[in-house]
Amino acid sequence: MMKFRLLGAVLGLALTAGAASAADLYRAPAPVAVPVAPTLLPAYMWTGAYVGLQTGYGTGDVGKLKSDPNGWLAGVHAGANWQMNMLVAGIDGSWSWSNMSSKSADINWTGDVRGRLGVAFDRFHVFGTAGFAFADVDAGVKKKNSGRVETGWTAGLGAEYAITNNWIAGVEYKYADYGKIGGKGGADLSTNVFQVRLSYKF
């Protein structure tokens, strides 16, 4: 009887030691830090209205009068854009004082109202533009049609970059064709204008 008791005690001690050893071998896994996703800044949106200033240089062609006006321009512009994914559609109007002048023609001021269609690459925007153009022109040998407003069409290309969320810098080229000026016996007038722009978007 004593032998059975002794054997039971030995087995009990062995089981207790084995359980303790197994508990020592098992360790709970260390907590793993969950990675935090980086904060992504939203892409720039071109939707909104804007106003601004522009300045540039223009050259004109008065056809058979053979004395083409050229000179500086400066003025104001306003418009609005609507962005749909990468596509940006808009409307833009501008007015510029002009000292484009020659012996046969003076262009006193120019204006236009145009549609624009472009593609945005975040803060960079390239576009084409076309619309209605008008200009105050004195033309002819003695510039007899003083103060006459000529009308025509215009088309061009441009690019803009959003310096901040509100300030936008850009460059633009516009060709304008005003048809025949100076009445009967007049000449065809067209202009090429290269300009820089600074706009504030609301």
Predicted local confidence at residue 144, as pLDDT: 58
Of the listed ranges 31-35, 99-103, 166-170, 175-179, the one predicted with least confidence? 31-35
Compute the residue count for the chain. 202
Q: Given CA atoms 102, 103, 108, 114 in this order, what sign does their dihedral have?
A: negative
Predicted local confidence at residue 6, as pLDDT: 47
Predicted local confidence at residue 10, as pLDDT: 47
Residues ≥6 apart with Cβ < 8 Å to 98: 58, 71, 72, 73, 107, 108, 109, 110, 135
Predicted local confidence at residue 139, as pLDDT: 77
* CATH class of this structure's domain 66-201: mainly beta
Predicted local confidence at residue 9, as pLDDT: 52
Average pLDDT rounded to a whole number, residues 20-38: 60
Q: What is the pLDDT of residues 37-63, one digit of tens each?
A: 665 556 899 999 999 999 999 999 987
Closest by CA position to 182, among listed 63, 40, 18: 63
Q: What is the pLDDT of residues 6-21, one digit of tens each?
A: 445 545 555 455 555 4
Name the more confident of 190 and 35: 190
Please determine, for residue 182, whether its predicted confidence score (pLDDT) is greater than 90: no
Average pLDDT, the chain: 85
Q: What is the pLDDT of residues 58-77, one digit of tens each?
A: 999 987 767 789 999 999 99
Cα separation of 117 and 119, whole Å? 7
